[in-house]
Amino acid sequence: MKKVFVSLEYPGEAVGRLAGKYNVVVFREERLPTRKELLEGAAGSSAVISTVADAIDKEFIDLLPDLRIVSNCGVGYENVDVAYATERGVMVTNTPNVLTETTADLAWALMISVARRVVEADTYVRSGKFKTWHPSLLMGRNVHGKTLGVFGMGRIGSAVARRAAGFGMRVLYHNRRRTEASEKETGAEYAEFPRLLEESDFVVIASPLNEGTRGRFGAEEFRKMKRGAIIVNVGRGPIIKEAELAAALEEGAIWGAGLDVYEKEPEIHPGLPGLPNTVLLPHIGSAARETREDMIDMAVTSVELALDGKTPEHLVNPGVLENLK
């Protein structure tokens, strides 16, 4: 019986579909597997269902001679050495689409929470400080009517932009390439990167991590932004130079930040948690029950297809088809 290793336990019934047909081994701890646990758990597998936190590198792939598919449960897959997997005839799949709207919702939760100081206000009430209404108590900034700048106009960026219509916002976006379909869908206007920084009241990062986006936001970019601007990151942590963000927030170069992802996740730059103008979340962009069930369902379907000798729909390395074992 072929072995399938699942590197974490997921909600829903999808993984159960594999039982009986395959030898399914699930890492059931409520924490990530260590490197040793990952390698030992996956040994002998034909399929692995992994997460963004698992390094599926050359060493990992070389240790699994029967490996046919790495089904990464998430839209991002920068944790997988895709080029090497392709060379070794290993399919790599991800779980796009099902998490788009959920992640866009969270970007808005961050925008509104930072602008209207929701978390700070909640802490204020819970700590018994709310004694009287006062006109200048916990004043924030408006969201409606402002300019939203979306960095990375892919599926999630477009979904973030679409929501802006309800808030009467102007939307700018910056992307590697102009995307006319998104412009039509959202009414967003393409802006060169400096203009996006200079004119946006909210900058939302929704791009994947690649050599073009790594470290793209640092001191110089924060200086170009409006002093009242808020930056939100639901893409990948290393797109922002976190130490430089902490300094910019401290100095008041920008007004606030809402982060769901971090440069050296799960570590957070020590300058950030002490700042009241930040809202910091533990990478929960797609963490809605229905969405997580849809993600694992998609990841399991990819495994079923690959092990049946078929081509999964969300193959990120189609070049592998020429190298299949």
What is the contact surface with ligand DGY in residues (CB under 6 A)? 52, 74-76, 99, 285-286
Compute the least distance from the CB of residue 207 to ligand DGY, in Å.
12
211 is catalytic: no
283 is catalytic: yes
Collect all residues with Cβ–Cβ distance below 8 Å to 73 and sequence separation of at least 6: 10, 49, 50, 51, 95, 295, 296, 299
Compute the least distance from the CB of residue 221 to ligand DGY, in Å.
22
Expressed in angstroms, the distance from the first to the final Cα of the chain is: 18
Compute the least distance from the CB of residue 52 to ligand DGY, in Å.
4
Exactly one of 283, 292, 304, 314 is catalytic; name it.
283
223 is catalytic: no
Compute the least distance from the CB of residue 6 to ligand DGY, in Å.
15
Exactly one of 37, 198, 265, 293 is catalytic; name it.
265
| Residue closer to ligand DGY (CB basis): 41 or 76 | 76
From the CB of residue 29, how many other CB atoms can be counted at a distance below 10 Å? Answer: 11
| Residue closer to ligand DGY (CB basis): 76 or 140 | 76
| Residue closer to ligand DGY (CB basis): 102 or 200 | 102
Exactly one of 236, 269, 292, 314 is catalytic; name it.
236
Pairs from 40-47 (Cβ < 8 Å, separation ≥ 24): 41/5, 41/7, 42/5, 42/7, 44/3, 45/2, 45/3, 45/4, 45/5, 46/2, 46/3, 46/4, 46/22, 46/307, 47/2, 47/3, 47/4, 47/5, 47/22, 47/71, 47/303, 47/306, 47/307
Compute the least distance from the CB of residue 79 to ligand DGY, in Å.
8
Compute the least distance from the CB of residue 260 to ligand DGY, in Å.
8
Residue whose C-beta lies closest to ligand DGY: 74
| Residue closer to ligand DGY (CB basis): 50 or 278 | 50
| Residue closer to ligand DGY (CB basis): 257 or 295 | 295
| Residue closer to ligand DGY (CB basis): 18 or 99 | 99
Strand 256-259: give its sheet, edge to edge: 189-190, 170-174, 147-151, 202-205, 230-233, 256-259, 278-280
Q: Rounded CA gap, 18 and 1, in Å?
A: 11
Compute the least distance from the CB of residue 76 to ligand DGY, in Å.
3
| Residue closer to ligand DGY (CB basis): 70 or 253 | 70
Which active-site residues does the annotation give? 236, 265, 283
